[in-house]
Structure 1
Amino acid sequence: MSHELTANTIWVLTCTSLVFLMQAGFCCLESGLSRSKNSINVATKNIVDFFIGVFIFWLFGFGLMFGESYGGWVGTSQFAFKDTSNTHWPTVVFLFQLVFCSTAMTISSGAVAERMRFRAYLLLAVGIGAIAYPLFGHWAWAHDAAGNATGWLGKLGFLDFAGSTVVHSVGAWSALAAVLILGPRTGRFTDDKNKQRFSSSNLPMAALGFLILWFGWFGFNGGSTLALNGEVPSIILNTILAGISGGLCALLWEVITSKQISVEKIFNGSLSGLVAITASCNAVNYPSAIIIGFIAGLVMLASLSLLENRFKIDDVVGAIPVHGFAGVWGTLAVALFADASLFQSGVSRLAQLGIQALGAGVCFVWSFGSIWLFMKLVNRFMPLRVTVADEKIGLNVAEHGASTELHSLLETMIDHEKGNNQSRADVDDFTEAGIVGYQYNRVLDAQEILLSDVKDREVRYRSIMDNVMDAIITIDLEGKIEEFNRGAEYLFGYYNHEAIGQNIDLLIPPLHQKIQHEYSSGELNPQLVRAIGSRQEIVAQRNDGSTFPAELAVSSVILADREIFTGIIQDISERKDYERSLNEARKRAEAASEAKSEFLANMSHEIRTPMTAILGFTDILLNNLTKPEDIESANIVKRNGEYLIGVINDILDLSKIEARKVELEQVRVNTIEVIRDIASLMQI
């Protein structure tokens, strides 16, 4: 083996390893941009499509693509590839083309993520690897041992150096066919104007995948020379310039049009530049590479908006705008910017543009059409899409039974929502979900303490409610009974279950229901207003239809944005009977007092009249007496008569006191005379 062949072998195998590394890049990028409940499913699809791609490409894919051409349409040799040469160079080329096939297949996994059955995706990978990619690859890239094109597109002069169309567009248009059959994720587009943006599970991982793709792209484009020659440095530099140009385009657009910079659009802008330059990285100068990359960023942004806003196409990672539309632009850019010496003899740039457009169009029709028909056929026998329930819980669990820390936390929360509070969330100090689980467990512990306290209060409340003798009734704003304690059962004659849910009219006589009706209609009766915070007397009705006087005290409280009223009702029938008895006794006492007063008035008249006459005759007698002893005796008679008149006046004053009409006055009294009068009275 010559030194040149050895160097080329080492270079191509190195580039093969770099392109294989792109599989890891797609895995990280697509898993990071998907929701965490689907990330394991997305990663697994990226792994298994490599398995499928390798087997199919070895078995017959390489033969269909690079075998001896049958009319420029299909290869007919080199199936179940084996290398019979002494240099092993065919194996090197086979390995390089093998990872290209794997790349084309894995592009679709991100676009159909989060709602496609795993088994259905396996068949999609088979369709791309066995039908779409090798046949179109034959049309564009098949050649004979001398390097002359044998595929019908290649014979026309179609140029695609490293696969903007052959690899990237084939994968994108195949993904578009599957996406249209699947439909958008549940809740992605709510109506004609609104779209729901789902959050990515791990943007740092997506960023790592993005950088790995960048690194792998050096081998993707640089290795397409199949030789370590002078073109490699410029190819890699063109790749870098186009990639950063596409990223700057997306960044500039976000800065101008949005307050918040979309990380995903920056990733996709840069990747679209890499896709576009892939077709012409060997044939353009550096300024052209920058222009191609920048325009690719604009194409990606425009097509992304068109697919989402106009057609409601749900591409989880933006694979169709990045690899499909940017791939078309890169293919057309060959005719506009590439070295014209690479064109077939006599072909102008305009003619080359037509050839490039034809190749891009054929790629769309073939890739989209063949995969759409294939997946439609599969969908008739096996649904491509998971159920809504599986989509809700996530494909990690639904398809693989694999759980993440976040999903375990959510399952614990769902158990608690159903009333199973025995379990606790997993705790891990080294994961975000584990830290959240620790805090959530603390909340649960505090909640259990609070609930225990609430239950104790509820028991005490129920004990009071059930044992208090007064009736306690709770109603809502519409008058519907919500609480009815044992005291109310005893007072009204209804069981609790009979009264709960009934209107308060049940306990109010028909003639008194107007109060409740006015209250329920929003016109609060003044009597009820006075009852809130105070006590009012009402008339209530028992189950047997009898009525009784009651005392009502009402309190109101707002719970959960609704107002409820609690009334305490006491039967005051005995009190009313006692009040009636007191009223009747008072009336009898007033009548007796009135009779007494009348008697005293009559008595004073009957006594006062003769006593006045006696006193008058005594005064006459005193004027005619001469003997001292006779005068003293007459004075004694006069004083005692006056004393008797005073006693009568005092008795009459008692009636005035009862009638609260007595008038008090101060009079000087000679105590000695009072004693003398008493002594003289006692001598009679």
Structure 2
Amino acid sequence: MVKKIAFLLIIGLLLASPISANTGEAASVDALNMMWVMLAAFLVFFMHAGFAMVESGFTRAKNSLNIIMKNLLTISIGPIVYFVVGYGIMFGSTAGSFIGADGFFLSGVDDIGFFVFQAMFVATCATIISGAVAERIKIGVYALIVVAMTSFVYPVVGHWIWSDNGWLAELGFSDFAGSTVVHLTGAVGAFTIVKFLGARIGKYSGDQVNVIPGHNIPMGALGVFILWLGWFGFNGGSTLEADPSLVPMVIATTLMSSSAAVISSAIYSKVKFKQLDASLVLNGALAGLVGITAGAAEMSIVGAIVVGLISGVILIEGISFIDAKLKVDDPVGATTVHGICGIWGTIAIGFFSVDTGLFYGYGISQLGIQALGVIAVIAWTTATVGLVTFVISKFTSIRVSSEEEISGLDIAEHGSNAYEFKDTISSKEAVQSDSDFGLADRLNSLSETKATS
């Protein structure tokens, strides 16, 4: 009897072992995929530090605290609103291929990891607006616009393109990581709001365009490097799995396009302006990143380099056109970086996609689909954001007063400054010329005054 029982146990173990091994292997793969997507989500979250630093560095010191608060509110409001309604509109069961109709409050949603990753994206789209409207929008109005973007405007675009049943997805529109869904939507929203806001005081004098320099370009440069790092998660995480063949290729195309855009913007800046303009070249890196975002998974490395080279040139011409010709005051160049380069990156799929592109023998049909999607998103975002901004403007001014703008939004909106440098001079003898009384002497004087008081 004992021998029979032992024999049956051995047979059972032999039969169960392959199943257990397969189950364990599948669980390991799922865990690895989730770890990669969560790591990518962390990188995209960290991009908001980059956005805050770019925007703050490229604008004036008196508005730095306000900019930090706007970016902090964006990454806080966005995910909550997206949880309540945005995710359901974007990925819920489709209603006429236009909008999601369920999944609100994540009802019936099991993949929380996917929600977290997408919540980082929705906040990224909204924060694009922050840079374009910097230095003159009321922070309360900005918060309302973030709610509108994350609850409805962006999720509808996402449903069209990233939901399996969206009408653009069914046509074959391709946007791997969001050149249109994220970047173009945010940029068009920004452009629309800036048209309502108007330019900053002193930006234009008749036909003359006046430069309002940023207060800390090194800070802006660090922000660009942070965004560049985060973009590897932005594009790489959009694979939604740790695919050993796809992820490295996505990272490679992302790197090559951004690097090429830096080089082309540097060369073109030197040729056009006789100088290597730092702010333009820094934005060149972002232009290349936006340009490759749509096609990172379906372009070759050579194709990515070409897309990046063109993005760098488009950036400089786009900023010049929007600033000087259209007289739309965008302090950080967000409408060009995310808008014009987003359009280029989306259309470029029709040329450079190894699966559907014209240059690979697939005709022009994909070009037409990509162009249709761009036009639809521009029309939708302009109409909805324009309506929201118009309604808000009927209840309150969306712009701070002239006095508040001149004094700076740090004081007007928050009652304090990002930077505090106060000179305390105890006697007339301490007053000297700047050459004899530098910052170190001023700080020493301040310390001595406190010690004797």
TM above 0.5: yes
Which TM-score applies when normalising by structure 1? 0.58
Cα 1:437/1:199, change in 2 over 3 Å: farther
Q: Which amino acid aligns with 2:302?
A: P
* TM-score (normalizing by structure 2): 0.87
1:165–1:331 contact (8 Å) kept in structure 2: yes
- Please say which of residues 64-73 and 254-263 is displaced more in the overlay: 254-263
Choose the corresponding residue for 1:261, options 273, 276, 280.
276
Note if 1:222 corresponds to 2:243. no
1:180-219 mapped onto 2 (5 Å cutoff): 180-192=195-207, 194-219=208-233
Partner amino acid for 1:205?
M
CA contact (8 A) 2:94 2:101 kept: yes
Q: 1:509-537 CA distances to partner (integer Å, 9 max, x unpaired)?
A: xxxxxxxxxxxxxxxxxxxxxxxxxxxxx
Unaligned 5+ runs, structure 1: 144-149, 426-431, 442-684
2:38 corresponds, among 13, 23, 38, to 13
Distance in 2 between the 1:287 and 1:84 partners? 40
| Residue 39 (structure 1) aligned with residue 64 (structure 2) | yes
Q: CA deviation at 1:132?
A: 1.4
Shift in alpha-carbon separation, 1:281–1:154, aligned structure 2, 3 A: same
Match of 1:237, as an amino acid?
A
Matched, 1:338 2:356: no
Decide whether the 8 Å contact of 1:405 with 1:434 is kept in 2. no
Distance (whole Å) between structure 2 residues aligned to residue 341 and residue 313 of structure 1: 36
Deviation at 1:131, TM superposition (A): 2.1
Query: Quick one: distance in 2 between partners of 1:404 and 1:369?
Result: 36
User: 1:308 Cα shift?
Assistant: 0.9
Instruction: Check if 1:109 corresponds to 2:123.
Output: no
The Cα of 1:261 is off from its aligned counterpart by 2.3
Amino acid at match of 1:206: G
- Once the two structures are superposed, the pairs formed by residues 284-683 of structure 1 within 5 Å of their partners are 284-340=299-355, 348-405=362-419, 435=440, 437-438=442-443
Q: Is the Cα–Cα contact under 8 Å of residues 66 and 413 in structure 2 kept in the other structure?
A: yes
**2: distance between equivalents of 1:405 and 1:157?**
51
Match of 1:599 in 2: none
- Preserved CA contact (<8 Å) 2:351 2:357: no
Deviations 1:225-260 (A, max 9, x none): 101111100110100000011111110012223243
CA 115–352 in structure 1, closer or farther in 2 if over 3 Å, else same = same
* Other-structure match for 2:95: 70
| Cα deviation code 1:613-664 (max 9, x no counterpart) | xxxxxxxxxxxxxxxxxxxxxxxxxxxxxxxxxxxxxxxxxxxxxxxxxxxx
Higher RCO structure (Cα 8 Å, ≥6 apart): 2
Q: Is the 8 A contact 1:340 1:349 kept in 2?
A: no
Partner residue, 2:291: 276
Aligned-pair identity in percent equals 37
Cα shift at 1:339: 1.8
- Verify the 8 A CA contact 2:129 2:189 in the aligned structure 1: yes
Aligned counterpart, 2:10: none
Contact in 2 for aligned 1:405/1:433 (Cα 8 Å)? no
Q: Deviations over 1:197-227 (max 9, x none)?
A: 1121211111111001000000100011101
1:157-213 CA-partner distances (Å, limit 9, x unpaired): 110000000000001000001101000000001121x22111212111111110010
Over aligned residue pairs, what C-alpha RMSD do you find?
2.5
In structure 2, C-alpha distance between the alignment counterparts of 1:322 and 1:137, rounded to whole Å: 20
Note closer, same or farther for the CA distance 1:94–1:258 as it changes in structure 2 (3 Å cut).
same
Q: Distance in 2 between matches of 1:208 and 1:438?
A: 27
Instruction: Give the number of the structure whose residues are more often helix, by fraction.
Output: 2
Report the CA distance between 1:2 and its aligned residue.
Answer: 1.1
Distance, in Å, in 1 between the alignment partners of 2:200 and 2:440 is 30
Distance 1:352 1:341 in 2: 6
SS of 2:204 mapped into structure 1: coil
